[in-house]
Structure 1
Amino acid sequence: MRIARVLSAALLTLGLAVSPAVADSTPSASPSDGGDAPTEAGTSFRTATEFEQGQTATASASTGDYLYWSFPADAGQRPTVRASVKLPEGAESSSTWQIDVYDGLRRRQACQYGAQTRTAAAGAGSVELSCTLRTVRAWSEEWADDPLPGTYYLRLTTTRLATADLGLPVGTEVEVDSKDIGGSAAVDGSLAQPLVPGIAVASRQEDDEDSSAEAVLSSLEPDDGWASGWWSDRWVWTALGAALAALAGIGGYTLTRGSGRPRHVPPPGA
């Protein structure tokens, strides 16, 4: 009974310790104030319009334009990008639309799943696109193209369009949300700096105590700052496993060592 009580108390204590980590690994949405969402889009990587995860960015454009937005994504997140295009009423033929996502090094990132490219029939009112990226890693090999923490770029355009429909007005909406994957995606390492354009220039200027001409091209970051890369709930689960193994060893030893009293040996000839 004493062993059972010890095990129960240990499990309860460790369960309370693990609860916050488990809660962090579930999807959570905390949209920012919709009034701060941008209402325009950039036309290149350098002029990409910034918006935060949870916001819905809108823009009015013309068919044939290249539209660019940027957003921050941190280690352990699995971002999903969604785009909606309100098509012009006077379109005479079908059109194909596509969203592409690039990281801070402008490497195109593959979609795990989602309708990244869709064709809208003539007369269709709108088209919906989506792209779920791979989980952002805190660190990766130089030769790999894994998603890394930093700024991500979203490009929306039409890849096939009749000449007669070129230049017609369209309305666009884009949004990004992420699922927190947690310790299952943790790696042993982290970047010195997130892949934010211009951050190296700003860091050198801070070292020189000259902050009057910072050249950071992207100013947004996650609400709680960039992850350090070393902590994840994997450490909690590792500690839990080690504690359970130790308790199992103690319990097994206690059950198998006997009562500790010497056994009665009958006298010779009995």
Structure 2
Amino acid sequence: MRTIRMRRTTRGMRTAAGAVTAGVFLLLGGTMSPAVADSSPSASPSDDGSDGGDAPTEAGTSFRTATEIEQGQKATASASTGDYLYWSFPADAGGRPTVKATVKLPDSARSSATWQIDVYDGLRRRQACQYGAQTRVAGADAGSVDLSCTLRTVRAWSEQWANDPLPGTYYVRLTATDLGTADLGVPVNAEIQVDSKHIGGSAAVDGSLAEPLVPGIAMTTEESDEAEGSDDSPTAVLSSLEPDDGWASGWWSDRWVWTAVGGMLAALAGVGGYALTRGSGRPSQVPPGA
């Protein structure tokens, strides 16, 4: 009788384990797709890196006139050495943006200038590059210069004294430094592209900004509240680009998934431990005459 009871207990444990395992796979399959969707760029570039002719072909000359580009777009611009070229792009929480720039120099007038890219956040604070060639010297026989800058992971919230990357508009500045008089005015062609990698729950923090660091968004919010219902309310947003699924799209992280998986495994361990330690539930039969 006890052997039969133990077989039934083992069969019940296998059934419970199968049910919990199936639930874990269903949870992982149904919840990992939003995290994968967050990692996709906001634009859909073609195979050659362009987006079908809609990418910008010029750059701004200051923060206020920075040309807006979406992540995944390859923007181009024609300029001269000595010019300051500015672009802006949106970055949301949980992403790690990478800025890549290529400066093509003409064969007729090449200079040994030092090219540099700098990245600033919505508060115009210069952000340090986690890795990448942020500064490079163009050799006398170089036809192009490749630059890159990978930022730290954008955080949803940070202390006021910290310089952590926060959600909002980011600015890219490309320029040549250490120029001589003879090197000024050399025509060049610049290409720039921004991509972002979604990091996930390892970079999640407990907190979020009330509004992303987009220039003018606070002023627009106040004006819209005061002029609610009117069609002629002014707008003051200096940057119109945002992620496809809106700001603060990084509220989801795989931390939720692993928390649920840990809870299921703990429940399975509790069921298995109880089934192994509770015994047959019946008093042992004493043989007659014992």
TM-score w.r.t. structure 2 length?
0.87
What does residue range 210-249 of structure 1 map to in structure 2 within 5 Å? Answer: 212-227=233-248, 230-249=251-270
CA drift of 1:23 comes to 4.2
Is 2:83 the partner of 1:65? yes
Shift of 1:184: 1.5
In 2, Cα distance between equivalents of 1:172 and 1:16: 47
Counterpart of 2:284? Answer: 263
1:237 positional shift? 1.3
The alpha carbon displacement at 1:92 in A equals: 5.4
Partner of 2:113: 95
- Asked if residue 12 in structure 1 is aligned to residue 17 in structure 2, the reply is no
Determine if contact 1:66/1:157 at 8 Å carries over to the other structure: yes
Q: Do structure 1's residue 137 and structure 2's residue 155 form an aligned pair?
A: yes
Q: Does 1:47 align with 2:65?
A: yes
Q: Which amino acid aligns with 1:31?
A: S
1-structure distance, mates of 2:249, 2:138: 43
Shift in CA distance, 112/25, structure 1 to aligned 2, threshold 3 Å: farther
Residue 111 of structure 2 contacts residue 140 of structure 2 at CA under 8 Å; is this kept in 1?
yes
1:85-128 Cα shifts (integer Å, max 9, x gaps): 00132335411111110100011111111111111101210000
How much does 1:231 deviate?
A: 3.2
The one-letter code of the counterpart of 1:117 is T
Shift of 1:233: 2.2
- Quickly say closer, same or farther: Cα 1:229–1:192, change in 2 above 3 A: farther
Q: Deviation at 1:246?
A: 1.3
**Superposed displacement of residue 264, structure 1:** 4.2
Q: SS of 2:246's equivalent?
A: coil
Q: Alignment identity in percent?
A: 72
Q: Deviations over 1:127-162 (max 9, x none)?
A: 000111111111111111111100000000012223
Superposition RMSD in Å: 1.9
1:156 maps to amino acid = L
The match for 1:79 is: 97
TM-score (norm 1): 0.93
Aligned partner of 2:171 in structure 1 is 153
CA distance in 2, matches of 1:249, 1:106: 53
* Partner Cα distance (1:71, 1:122) in 2: 33
CA contact 1:202–1:216 (8 Å) conserved in 2: yes
**1:43 aligned partner, one-letter code:** T
Amino acid corresponding to residue 126 of structure 1 in structure 2: S
Q: In the alignment, is the contact (CA less than 8 A) between 2:91 and 2:168 conserved in 1?
A: yes
Conserved 8 A contact 1:188-1:230: no
Aligned length: 269
Is the 2:134–2:149 Cα contact (8 Å) retained in structure 1?
yes
Q: One-letter code of the match for 2:19?
A: A
Give the Cα–Cα distance (whole angstroms) in 2 for the partners of residues 221 and 17 of structure 1. 30
1:173-220 alpha-carbon deviations (Å, 9 max, x no partner):
000011111111111111000000000010001101255320100000
Q: CA deviation at 1:265?
A: 5.6
Q: What is the CA-CA distance between 1:258 and the residue it aligns to?
A: 1.1
Confirm or deny: 8 A CA contact 1:189 1:230 kept in the other structure.
no
Instruction: Choose 227-236 or 2-11, whichever is displaced more.
Output: 227-236
Of 28-37 and 246-255, more deviation after overlay is shown by 28-37
Q: Give the SS at the match of 2:273.
A: helix
Could you tell me which amino acid in structure 2 is paired with residue 146 of structure 1?
A: D
More strand by share: 1
1:164 equivalenced with 2:191 (yes/no): no
Give SS of 1:167's match.
coil
The gaps in structure 1 that reach 5 residues or longer are none
What residue in structure 1 maps to residue 206 of structure 2? Answer: 188
For 2:30 and 2:56, the matched residues in 1 are separated by: 34
Q: Structure 1 25/228 Cα, relative in aligned 2: closer, same or farther at 3 Å?
A: closer
Provide the secondary structure at the position in 2 that maps to 1:238. Answer: helix
